[in-house]
A and B are shown apart, each in its own frame.
Chain A
Amino acid sequence: MYGKGLRPLSIATVAALVASFSLVFFYAPLDADQGFIQKIFYLHVPLAIVALIGFVIGGVFAVLHLRSGDSRWDAYSYVSIHMSVIFGVAVLITGSIWAKASWGHWWVWDEPTLVSFLIVFLMYATYYPFRYAIEDRERQARYASVFAIAAGAFVPLNFMAVRMAQSLVHPRVFATTNGGLPGSMMLTFLVSLLAIGLLWVTLVKFELTAKSASGQLKRLRRALDAPAPGGSSRVAPEVG
């Protein structure tokens, strides 16, 4: 069920990523201020945007789970958050590389954008131990949904707080003054954003497909474990 349409989606994702990287390196002009280093921006910023939106989407799925009680929404929420955490790792690493090249330091603590993203990332990193500390599956799903909603609501608040912070150091993608990005850079950025967004959707779908297959396998194993109608109990073989 989840694997439906995965193949064309994967092809579209690869095509979008290739187009995006081609535009980044062969079309977008060098930034007058930062030079070649600015190329990291086409990777780092879309990753950050998609990761943050993914966290919010995880919260929306969690709302649907609490409203309906359908465990499918819990799986969607879990996978969305899981994928956004992975993207968050990429954001932190690529951001650190940019900071080292531009500022000379891998990390600075007085930059609100960095620290706030780290706070969001660490908050979601606690999602896993929080979730798996609860043994009962229903309670686990319910508590995880509450966490996902609360944390998902924090993300846009955090984003707005950072935008309002008066920092002149961290570059802004969509500047509200002085015209923002020129057309060629904007096009490249939007294609990169589309490619990274597609990548997120594809990987979420991929993960859901794998989870679905794993779940069906467990159901099959349980069915084989069940006592046979004749009365003899059958135990499925242990697989490492």
Chain B
Amino acid sequence: MLPLLAAAPALPLDEAGKYVAGAYVVFLALIVVYVAIMAAKLQRIERELRELANFAEQGSPGTPGREAEDVPVDIEAQPVAVSDRNLTPSEAAAGRPDHARGSPDV
């Protein structure tokens, strides 16, 4: 690439050049705008996911005794990343136990 750039002639940025530059800038701008919109969308998804995970963790106490069934034994030793965890409906409905609330947010 570098030898190619070194051997390249200067770009003729005269009258025609501004139109060519304009066309390519428009193309790149469209891509950037699209990527920015998608990034905003992904941020919103991530935020909603975090809020749902928090809600699942801090939800209503549920039926007494359920926590003991659903809590992984080693949750203290290995905190589970919230966004990596697949909650089953029953697990989500039962909520996580209090001692799992300190798991790191992703």
A interface, CB within 8 angstroms of B: 21-22, 25-27, 35-37, 39-40, 43-44, 47, 86, 89-90, 93-94, 97-98, 100-101, 199, 203, 206-207, 210, 213-214, 217, 220-221, 223-224, 226, 228-230, 232, 234, 236-237, 239
Interface window among B50-58, B71-79, B98-106 = B50-58
Most A C-beta atoms less than 10 A away, residue of B16, B45, B87: B16
Interface contacts (Cβ under 8 Å), in number, total 114
21 intermolecular pairs with C-beta atoms under 8 Å apart: A26-B7, A26-B8, A26-B9, A35-B12, A36-B12, A43-B24, A86-B34, A93-B30, A203-B34, A210-B42, A210-B45, A213-B42, A213-B45, A221-B48, A224-B55, A224-B93, A232-B60, A232-B62, A234-B59, A234-B93, A239-B47
- Consensus secondary structure, chain A interface: helix
A103 to chain B, nearest CB (A): 12
Bound complex: CA A214 to CA B51 (Å): 14
Within 8 A of A (CB), among B7-37: 7-9, 11-12, 14-17, 19-20, 22-24, 26-27, 30-31, 34
Are A206 and B22 closer than 8 Å at their CB atoms? Answer: no
With A210-B42, A237-B55 as given contacts, are A230 and B62 in contact (CB-CB < 8 Å)?
A: yes
Contacts of B26 in A (CB 8 A): 90, 93-94, 97
B interface, CB within 8 angstroms of A: 1, 4-5, 7-9, 11-12, 14-17, 19-20, 22-24, 26-27, 30-31, 34, 38, 41-42, 44-45, 47-49, 51-52, 55-56, 59-60, 62-63, 66, 87, 89-90, 92-94
Bound complex: CA A21 to CA B21 (Å): 12
Are A223 and B19 closer than 8 Å at their CB atoms? Answer: no
Are B4 and A22 closer than 8 Å at their CB atoms? Answer: yes
Are B62 and A224 closer than 8 Å at their CB atoms? Answer: no
With A27-B4, A210-B41, A236-B55 as given contacts, are A44 and B93 in contact (CB-CB < 8 Å)?
A: no
Contacts of B63 in A (CB 8 A): 228-230
A162 to chain B, nearest CB (A): 21
Contacts of A234 in B (CB 8 A): 59-60, 93
Contacts of A199 in B (CB 8 A): 31
With A36-B16, A226-B89 as given contacts, are A210 and B38 in contact (CB-CB < 8 Å)?
A: yes
Are A206 and B92 closer than 8 Å at their CB atoms? Answer: no
Bound complex: CA A228 to CA B70 (Å): 14
With A26-B4, A217-B45, A217-B49 as given contacts, are A224 and B92 in contact (CB-CB < 8 Å)?
A: yes
